[in-house]
Structure 1
Amino acid sequence: MQQRLVSVEQELKQFHEETKQYYGETKQYYGEAYKNHIPTWMLLRGPIYKSPHGGSVLVDLDILRFLANNDASEFAMWAGGFELIYGMSYSHGKFISRGSKMVRLADTRADLKLLDNQACLPKCDAIIRLWKAATDNGQDPEGVFRTPAVAGMYDNLMRSFRSAPSK
């Protein structure tokens, strides 16, 4: 019985070591895969300044997160473009969550900016300013979209622009 317990213990230790090794290899593989797809995104996103419907704030934020840790000069260039088309700095943009209405608004603002649609751009900018103020003051930025005036303006913008659903 004692010998069987020792044998089971050794098997468990071996299994545990193999599991740790597998986990490490998997983590390394996914890290490398992530690093490899960022340059592809950058190539695809590079021409956004030349064509309409260039807004994809979530993809651009992923690119900026990667560059922030890997390439300061490239980060500075992308961060400048981000602020130009989305109307907010990366320091504000990193607070955007996937389910937020700000995703669609930021994408719409980028499209309007790239299409040079000056009529709707100030409305987008007004909502973005309120959203940025909420993040700066530690308030819930999504609360901005629950105020009647902003909700109405947002709905009208989305209806008139007929923006595509969030990417």
Structure 2
Amino acid sequence: MDGATAMVRIFGWLACFGALALLILAMTTGTRVSAANAVRIDHATVRLSPVPGRPAAGYFTITAGSAAVELTGVVAAHARVELHGMSMAGNVMRMNRLPSVRVAAGRTVRFAPGGSHLMIFDLPATASAAKMPLTFVFADGTRVDVTASVVAAGAEAMPMPMPMPMPMPHGTH
């Protein structure tokens, strides 16, 4: 075997070991690797309710990789989590449960105050801890484990990108 052939074999083996190392790293950090896509969850925050026993709200950004993804749910230990959106019906803002949220390839969707968010029900009293594990579940079976920061009611969880237009009747004052 000549020197060039030996170098090609060595680089081939190094590439295989590198790919294996990345796969092991992804598995140990709680992220299940999807062959078609890499999805990223950032800025995960849970804002506690000012009234004990009432639902908390969850906010985050989700970025799809090279393929679109569909978020079908979020799981938390000892709590029930629902995806919620906001819509305007007449002059009334309404909150509605979302069955899923689709994120186009290479795009980012923000779950933020005044818009789409998580509703987190039945939180135990220990939820006032600084961190809360969440598992994001996708239609293709991918699960992404994230540790969300927990903030008190009234604390800023995520700044809103722009104010939401709200029609206000001004004829009564």
TM-score strictly above 0.5:
no
The structure number with the bigger radius of gyration is 1
Q: Which has the higher strand share?
A: 2
**Shorter-chain-normalised TM-score: which range?**
0.3 to 0.5
Which structure has greater helix proportion? 1
| TM-score normalized with structure 2 length | 0.35
Normalising by structure 1, we get a TM-score of 0.36
Q: Which has the higher contact order (CA 8 A, sep 6+)?
A: 2
